[in-house]
Chains A and B, each alone.
Chain A
C-alpha cells in the first residue's frame, strides 16, 4: 500500500513551514481566551466566590469552549480545502497532475485527507483545554469522544463544499468566498422554507382552513430536524447539553414532547446533521469528480 502522494506531499511541506505552528498557536490562544472569559463569567455569577468548583459551572465552561471551537472550525476549514486545487492552478502545477493517469478520486481524497488531518491536529491540540474538565466530572470521556467524532463529520462536510468550489473555480479567493456562501445558503434555505410555510399556515389559519397548521403541529419535531439538520450547532447542542437544551426549545415553542409522531421522531438532532452531511458531501464530491474528469 502506497500512501496517497498528494497527502504525503502536503503533510511534508505543511510541517516544514512556520505557518502551521503559528496557526495552531493562534487557535489555542483564542480557545484560551474563551476559557478565561467563561471562568470569569461563571464565577462572578456566584456571590459566594471561589468556594470549590460547582460541576455545572465546569460543564458550562466545557460547552462554551466546544461551541467556540466548532465556530472556529467552520470558519477555518474552507480556507484549507477551498484553496487546494485552485492553489495548484495558481502555481500552474495542476496540469502536471492532470496529464498523468492519476485518478480524480486520488486527487480529491489526497486533498481532503490533507485538510482533514490538519483539522484533526487542531482538535487534538485543543484536547488539554477540554480534557481538564474530565477532572471535575460532569462530562465523561465518552461524551467528549462523541463530540470529537461529530466535529470530524462536520469537518468532512465543510471540506466537501470547499472541494466542490476549488474544482469549479479558477482563483483561490473566489473559491473561498463561494464556499462560505454555499455553506451559508445550506443553513438559510431550509429555515426560509419553514418560515414561508409558517406564514402560509398562519394565513390559512385565519381564513379557517388549518390543514397546514395541523401538519406543522403534528410534525413539529420532524420539521425541526429538516430546518436545522444542516446546522452543526443543532447537533452539537444536543450532544453537549444532553438533550435538555433542545427539550427546552420545544417547551418554549409550546410543544411538550421531543420525539415526533413518525419514525423520524427516533432521529436525534446530531443524526439529522449526519444525514444532511452525508447528502451534501456525496453531491459535492461527485460533482467535483465530474469536473476533474471533464475537459474543456
Chain B
C-alpha cells in the first residue's frame, strides 16, 4: 500500500532522512515513532507530495510520488502537524471548500460533509466558525477534511500532541472506526506509549534512520534480553551507581526517589551474580526487582544507542 524505498532527504548539507525503507500493508495501523527532529515529518511530507526526496522514493499503491504525483495524491489523506484552517469560514463552508478542491459534485457534497462530520463528532458544530472550535475539534475537522476524497491511506503527523486526555480518547475511537472501515493508517508520534494501543505495527526512526520495525509484541520480544532492574539500598546511592557503571551489561542508569533503575543485558544467572557481587561489596540491598521491559524504556534504549554510535 505504501512503500518507502531507500529514501534520503538532505536540507542543504544536513541529512534529515537516510536510507529509509519500510512497507505499510493494506489495513495496517502503522505507528511512526521517533523523537523530535528524527525525520518523521520530512518522510510524511514526501509521501504527501509536498517535498522532493533527495534520493529514493515512496510508492503509494504502486504510484511513484515523484513521477505520478497527482495519481499518488488521490490515495492519500494528509493531516499535517499544524491546523491550517481558514478561520473566517464556518465548519460546513470549510468542508465545502475542500469538496470543491477535490471536485466532489455539488449534488453529493451535503451527504459527504454530513457523514464526515458525523464520523468525527462535529455534527453539532456545523454552523460554528472554525475560529470558535477548540483545539481537539479543529484537529478532528482537519481529519474530516483529509477524508473528503475517500483516500485509502490516511497519514497523520503527530495528531495527538497538544490534545487533552479526553480528546485523545475520542481521537483513538475515531482511528479505530477508520481501521474498521479498512483504511490504512499511518500515525506519527514522539511518544511510543501513545501509539502502542492503537497501532498494529510500529516503526522507530532515529536521526533519519529506521531503528526497528515490527508489531508491538515483536518489538518487545526482540528486546526481551533487555530487562529493567529496580533496586533499593541503604546508604549512599551514588556509590552503588558508580559500581553499576563499571558493569558492561548495565546501561541507562536512572536515579529515582529512593531507588535506582537500570537496564540489564543478560540472563537470570547473570542477574543473580550482579546481586551477589553488590552484597559482597557490602552494599545493603533490601529490594531487587525485575520490572517488565516497558515500551518506553525500550524506546529510550534504542534511541540512546544511536547517540552512542554517533560519538
Contacts and interface: CB of A to CB of B under 8 A. Distances in A.
A3 B106 CA distance: 10
Interface string A257-292: 000000000000000000000000000000000000
Secondary structure call for the A interface: loop
Contact of B84 (A4, A13, A17, A95): A95
Q: How large is the interface on A (under 10, 10 to 19, 20 to 34, 35 or more residues)?
A: 20 to 34
A92 B84 contact: yes
A95 B97 contact: no
A9 interface: yes
Contacts of A102: 101-102
A5 interface: yes
A2 B100 contact: yes
Interface string A3-38: 111101100110011000000000000000000000
Nearest to B65: A295
B86 A2 contact: no
Interface residues of B, number: 33
A102 B105 CA distance: 15
A155 B89 CA distance: 28
Interface string B142-157: 0001000100000000
Contacts of A206: none
Given A91-B84, A96-B145, A101-B74, A5 B51 contact: no
Contact of A13 (B70, B86, B102): B86
B93 A91 contact: no
Given A98-B50, A99-B50, A99-B76, A93 B86 contact: yes
Interface string B93-121: 10001111111011000000000000000
B168 to A, nearest CB: 23
B83 A92 contact: yes
B101 A99 contact: no
A101 B48 CA distance: 11
Given A2-B106, A17-B88, A92-B83, A97 B48 contact: no
B39 interface: no
B80 A93 contact: no
Contacts of A12: 89, 93
Contact of B78 (A5, A8, A17, A99): A99
Contacts of A16: 88
A295 B52 contact: yes
B82 interface: yes
A295 B50 contact: yes
B73 A9 contact: no
Nearest to A97: B101
In this complex, which of B74, B76, B98, B105 has the most chain A Cβ atoms within 10 angstroms of its Cβ? B98
Secondary structure call for the B interface: loop
A101 B103 CA distance: 10
A5 B50 contact: no
Contacts of A4: 100
A9 B97 contact: yes
B86 A9 contact: yes
A93 B87 CA distance: 11
Nearest to A9: B97
Given A96-B145, A99-B78, A296-B52, A5 B97 contact: yes
B78 to A, nearest CB: 5
Contacts of B169: none
B86 A8 contact: no
A45 interface: no
B278 interface: no
A100 interface: yes
B85 interface: yes
Contacts of B86: 9, 13, 91, 93
B34 interface: no
Contact of A100 (B45, B73, B82, B84): B73
A16 B93 CA distance: 13
A226 to B, nearest CB: 41
In this complex, which of A4, A6, A99, A101 has the most chain B Cβ atoms within 10 angstroms of its Cβ? A99
Given A93-B86, A99-B48, A8 B97 contact: yes
Contacts of A96: 78, 80, 84, 98, 145
B73 A101 contact: yes
A9 B69 CA distance: 25
Nearest to B66: A295
A100 B52 contact: no
Contacts of B69: 101
Interface in A152-180: none
Interface of A: 2-6, 8-9, 12-13, 16-17, 91-93, 95-102, 295-296
Instruction: Across the A-B interface, give the 6 residue pairs with the lowest CB-CB distance, nearest first.
Output: A5-B100, A295-B52, A101-B70, A92-B84, A99-B48, A93-B84
16 contacts: A2-B103, A2-B105, A5-B99, A5-B100, A9-B97, A12-B89, A91-B86, A92-B84, A95-B84, A96-B145, A97-B101, A99-B78, A100-B73, A101-B69, A101-B74, A295-B49
Given A9-B97, A296-B51, 6 more contacts: A6-B101, A8-B100, A12-B89, A93-B85, A99-B50, A99-B78
